[in-house]
Structure 1
Amino acid sequence: MALEWLTLVAAIWLQSINGTNSNFPAYSSELKRILSTSQLNLNNLASANDAGKLFGWISGLAAAHLPLWLVLLIGSLLGLIGYGVQFLFLTGQAPSLSYWHIFLLTALAGNGICWINTVCYLITIRNFPLDRQIAVGLSTSYIGLSAKIYTDIVDVVAASNSPSDRAKAFLLLNSALPLLVCLVVAPLARDAVVGRSKRLSRGFFAMFAISMVTGVFAVVTSLKTVVAGAVPSYVILGGMVVILFLPLIVPAGEKITETVRRRCLIAVHDDGGGVTVVEKDVESIVEGAGVVDEMGPLMMVRRVEFWLYFFVYLFGATLGLVFVNNLAQIAESRGCSGTSSLVSLSAAFSFFGRLLPSYADYFFPRSKRLVSRGGAIGVMMGPMCGAFFLLLNGEDASLYVGTGIIGICTGAITSISVSTTAELFGTKNFGVNHNILVSNIPIGSFLFGDFAALLYSKARTHYSSLCMGQNCYHTTFILWGSLCCLGTFLAFILHLQTNKLCSRKITTQSVV
């Protein structure tokens, strides 16, 4: 049992450092200056972070045939190359690179993220079959903290506050930190499930308490530039490191409990007592077993549910990610100086958003839920629609509130989607299937991001490369809000379709 919890802690640590693409807004303006490129080309660089997801299915195939620790190391090495060469370029230790070299390197690093994500998803799904959504939500929530963690480190290690030094620090961390963490946790990247007949409520309750402390700490310290009495950067970083080690309390507690239980069983046996242990087949009691159809990729893409799901995600989580990619330029155009705070705030609220589905599954099991996974996604997309229209207001407060809402909703949808893929199409081919679904992220990133960049360029004056004013993203926010409303409607249709299919399968099984 303790080993299972250790694999969850490993997934948490991996996700904490795997959101390297979310750091792009923190150094995108410096890249724009160094490359002397346009806003459209800069947006395409942001999209390149997601372009690697087009080939994310390769990591799913690899995970089906290679040890998970090897898949993990391959992903970290791809990131080392992608970000490492860019770091050497910025420091003048590598030959001059063209825009397209940077684009391809960024896409390569983005693909490395998929490999690490695939391992995290698989070890949580396989090792916690009775608590799949809870385990997945807990682990993936920490990817929402990546931007916050990297920003805290840069605030301490950057030699100065200059954009150039900070950009170099971000790229160095992006390349080296994932590899170091992957090397540490690689021995835990494996199946550790044992037969269980009950849920792990006690351990998850402790994990929830730890995650709440982590989230509150992240939000409060993200606002250090807009509240009085700012805390020194090294104190914030030290606090974050300590908090990231707190999940080890759960496997340590389970280990102690196992030892005590084993000694008690030995004592009972020595006294002549009989102990009967009944182990149930895990697969037979997995939530939803017998209802889920195991599908391969070819069968999946022929289903109408897949395409509904695809466009719901495109107009929901993908739109939220595009907003985050453009956050630095949005803040700059509105004259808001707290770009780093906005990036950290978005990451912190995304953390809470990714936790929401886990809390829902913990306190309201499947038997008590009235809304399907697709319906839950639709519920989270509603506030996103309002947030995009709220951004039409030019006040800084609207930007902070809108960023927080979009962050929490995007995080929740991303977390729900993992279990939705498993429930709709099965877990056997999950690694490939889910990576095919999230291929809509680079597609949406290019389409929505390029449209926003074109409108940005059209709104700027001919004498400046920058666009200043509320009109820079006014039409963009209207379009994004409208698409999000369309996605909410499609999520409602997916909810009805999912309920219809589940009812049909249960009826068929009852007849049989």
Structure 2
Amino acid sequence: MCFYICFGANALTFSNTGALVACVKNFPESRGIVIGLLKSFVGLSGAIYTQLYLAIYGDDAASLVLLVAWLPAAFNIFTVYTIRVLPYARRRDGGKPYNTPFYHFLYLSLALASYLLVMIVVEKQVQFSHAAYVVTSTALLIVLFSPVGVVVKEEYKAVSQLEESLQQPPAIAVEEPKAGTAGKGDDESSSPPLCGGGGMACLTNMFKPPALGEDYSIMQALVSVEMLVLFVISVFGIGGTLTAIDNMAQIGQSLGYPAKSINTFVSLISIWNYAGRAGAGYISEFLLARYRLPRPLVLTAVLLVSCIGHLFIAFGVPQSLYAASVIIGFCFGAQWPLLFAIISEVFGLKYYSSLFNFGSAASPAGAYVLNVIITGRMYDAEATRQHGGVAAVGDKICKGVVCFKRPFIIITGVTFAGALVSLVLVWRTRNFYRGDIYAKFKVTPAAASESESLDGKNVEMAEETEGKRKKQVVNDDLY
């Protein structure tokens, strides 16, 4: 089973990396929205698989394993050639980023999440037949694939705009390359220097990173203060919320909640996990574009809010587990798109696939320390004490607020410490986020005005304004 889980987890990571990294590189000015949207669909995937499994096979555990084995592989093979990085068309400074289709995707994902929530609630109250599951799953697939309609509409609009532009060809400026720059592409000239002088040169270059937002090498990013802070935040923040999610059933049991309520907690966590992933991506992108609010500061706020959910669990406030499940589910989901967006913005996109997965690796480390070593051992020790020195086995479970009080006070403390550590990242990146972090993806004002001034002028005027640079301007009248 360990062998199978290893393969399954790595398959998920590979698919996740391929889709997410390609989309971030294709839409670099909307990366927060893109990451939030993709991660939100990951949050809904478990509920989607449950509905499809009940419709295809019925209630059969062995068939569920079979479905998980063949469906992702078949879909990946069918869609693999659509996942690719396309050339990015720079826009003029002041133009609006390409966000409108993503808001359509958001509305459709909200419809999908609402439908799944209704289905989860109804299925707990009503006994469905196999035919009923087929009907509801068909409706689910229609909603799930509805974003294809948005894509078709945008492709049609792009083709129409291209045909319009071909009817009125713009002026073309041919620039003679400067001496010494011929044959060098943008990627080569802007990339960090490679290790060319042996091990000592490699080591020296590792501790001389470029400016924030430029393309760091993998080692430059891994040894940077910013990556160290992000790793600590992930261990403390994501590790703490993941511990609460993993133990939610036992927490509800120890506090005396009925089984139906415990199932509701799990459903709430799943839906609010989706809301956190989608909301954090869109809200942080809006705050960044409108108010230049640093994304690390939003991550700090999420960590502080998650402390409230941990305290609800620690002190066992009556009927507070509903609120705790909402807070923890939302905060757990919100941390992922914020973490991945910050990595892409601070360290650049050249080695994003490697750095993105390094950021993901912090969460299992945090979960192991906080969940297994701290929470698990303290719970077992209290259960053993309650049963007179006999280990908790079968129905011998821990009862009362004391079962999770100490571990979740510790988790609250380390999460708060993570929020304080995140302020270091806020401080170090304050000037970076104060400027236009997406400036490299736009046509600079100087280049834009130069292009407009050259439109309709001849070669002599261009040579006079540029001096040493030689340009040949050909407008549509010459054709």
Hey, what does 2:5 align to over in structure 1?
A: 106
Query: Could you state the TM-score of these two structures normalised by the residue count of structure 1?
Result: 0.67
Kindly provide the amino acid, as one letter, of the partner of residue 108 in structure 1.
F
Report if the CA contact (8 A) 1:129-1:282 is conserved.
no
Alignment of 1:194-205 (within 5 A): 194-197=88-91, 198=95, 199-205=97-103
Aligned to 1:258, which of 158, 165, 173?
158
**Secondary structure of the structure 2 residue equivalent to 1:292:** coil
Report if the CA contact (8 A) 1:346-1:407 is conserved.
yes
CA distance change for structure 1 residues 347 and 180 in 2, over 3 Å: closer, same or farther? farther
CA distance in 1, matches of 2:105, 2:412: 35
CA distance change for structure 1 residues 118 and 274 in 2, over 3 Å: closer, same or farther? closer
Aligned to 2:364, which of 432, 435, 442?
442
**Secondary structure of the structure 2 residue equivalent to 1:213:** helix
Aligned to 1:192, which of 63, 76, 86?
86
* Number of aligned residue pairs: 389
Hey, what does 2:471 align to over in structure 1?
A: none
CA distance in 2, matches of 1:504, 1:203: 26
> How many angstroms does 1:420 deviate by?
0.6
Aligned to 2:305, which of 383, 401, 416?
383
Aligned to 2:276, which of 350, 353, 365?
353
Hey, what does 2:26 align to over in structure 1?
A: 127
CA distance in 1, matches of 2:232, 2:212: 24
Give the structure with the larger helix fraction.
1
Query: Could you state the TM-score of these two structures normalised by the residue count of structure 2?
Result: 0.72
CA RMSD, Structure 1 to Structure 2 (Å): 3.4
CA distance change for structure 1 residues 194 and 295 in 2, over 3 Å: closer, same or farther? closer
> How many angstroms does 1:442 deviate by?
1.9
Q: Which sections of structure 1, spanning at least 5 residues, go unmatched?
A: 1-101, 507-512
Aligned to 2:242, which of 321, 332, 336?
321
Q: Are residues 1:464 and 2:358 paired?
A: no
Report if the CA contact (8 A) 2:343-2:356 is conserved.
yes
CA distance in 2, matches of 1:327, 1:200: 40
Report if the CA contact (8 A) 1:223-1:345 is conserved.
no
CA distance in 1, matches of 2:123, 2:264: 7
CA distance change for structure 1 residues 212 and 369 in 2, over 3 Å: closer, same or farther? farther
> How many angstroms does 1:323 deviate by?
2.5
CA distance in 2, matches of 1:374, 1:248: 33
Kindly provide the amino acid, as one letter, of the partner of residue 474 in structure 1.
K
CA distance in 1, matches of 2:186, 2:127: 50
Q: Identity of aligned pairs, percent?
A: 21
Between 300-309 and 172-181, report the one with greater CA deviation: 172-181
Report if the CA contact (8 A) 1:390-1:398 is conserved.
yes
Kindly provide the amino acid, as one letter, of the partner of residue 445 in structure 1.
A
Q: Which sections of structure 2, spanning at least 5 residues, go unmatched?
A: 174-184, 190-209, 438-479
Report if the CA contact (8 A) 1:380-1:412 is conserved.
yes
> How many angstroms does 1:188 deviate by?
0.7
**Secondary structure of the structure 1 residue equivalent to 2:259:** coil
Hey, what does 1:368 align to over in structure 2?
A: 291
CA distance in 2, matches of 1:502, 1:252: 35
Larger Rg: 2
Aligned to 2:109, which of 211, 219, 235?
211
CA distance in 2, matches of 1:204, 1:136: 11
**Secondary structure of the structure 2 residue equivalent to 1:126:** helix
Report if the CA contact (8 A) 1:138-1:358 is conserved.
yes
Q: Deviations over 1:57-108 (max 9, x none)?
A: xxxxxxxxxxxxxxxxxxxxxxxxxxxxxxxxxxxxxxxxxxxxx2343233
> How many angstroms does 1:259 deviate by?
3.9
Q: Are residues 1:302 and 2:223 paired?
A: yes
Q: Are residues 1:416 and 2:338 paired?
A: yes
CA distance in 1, matches of 2:253, 2:76: 35
Aligned to 2:259, which of 320, 323, 337?
337
> How many angstroms does 1:247 deviate by?
0.9
